[in-house]
Amino acid sequence: MAIDKDAIKEHIRGILVALGDDPEREGLKDTPDRVARMYEEIFEGMKYTNDEIADMFDKSFELASNDCQDMVLVKDIEVFSYCEHHMALMYDMKVSVAYIPKGKVIGLSKVARIADMVAKRLQLQERIGADIAYIMSKVTGSMDVAVVIEGSHSCMTARGIKNNSAKTLTTTLKGSFKEDAKLQNRLMMLLK
């Protein structure tokens, strides 16, 4: 799905008018265009399905049978997203992704790229974890995937309750990570 920058410009202009400002005044003349270009960048992930993102970043390497097939963990991947309820920024987000290889491993930078692309949508933090887990399973062939996300939400810090210290922690556990308490505990220890 292509992002319609012309429609965004028109609507941003309307928002400026609805706020009681003059979209033709100095400082605002180019704002609709700037916002449209920014939205095209920060919502890039909306152009792709999870399957298309998996295809985009499917760079894996076969493991020899004697290679270690223990947990792989990429932690503290920094992303940001926008809450679909208020279009408010979700920030200071750290994503950690773990999986147990099943004969192949994914290029480590691809894990961060998957997390970044999934976050570039109108999202819920819970769905970001589920989407990353789905894509990781598809690319690696492993059902044993865990995604842990911690982040701040400006819909809680800048408005409403205005609680600046609140953080949201979500976990998505699949396969062995869901079923094996020892593996869960090991993961959580590594994330400290």
84 annotated active-site: yes
Q: Which of 40, 78, 83, 150 is catalytic?
A: 83
68 annotated active-site: no
What is the C-alpha separation between 170 and 172, in angstroms, rounded? 7
What is the C-alpha separation between 171 and 191, in angstroms, rounded? 12
Q: Which of 85, 126, 150, 184 is catalytic?
A: 85
**Sign of the CA dihedral 75, 78, 84, 86?**
positive
CA 93 to chain centre: 9
**Half-sphere exposure for 126 (CA within 13 Å, toward CB):** 0
83 annotated active-site: yes
Q: Which of 11, 40, 44, 155 is catalytic?
A: 155
150 annotated active-site: no
Q: Could you write out the three-class secondary structure of 131-156?
A: HHHHHHHHHHCCCCEEEEEEEEEHHH
86 annotated active-site: yes
CA 127 to chain centre: 9
Phi, psi of 163 (to 5 degrees): -100, 100
List the beta bridge partners of residue 99.
72, 145
State the pairing for strand pair 122-123/72-83: parallel
Q: Which of 44, 86, 150, 184 is catalytic?
A: 86
What is the C-alpha separation between 118 and 113, in angstroms, rounded? 9
85 annotated active-site: yes
153 annotated active-site: yes
As annotated, the active-site residues are 83-86, 125, 153, 155
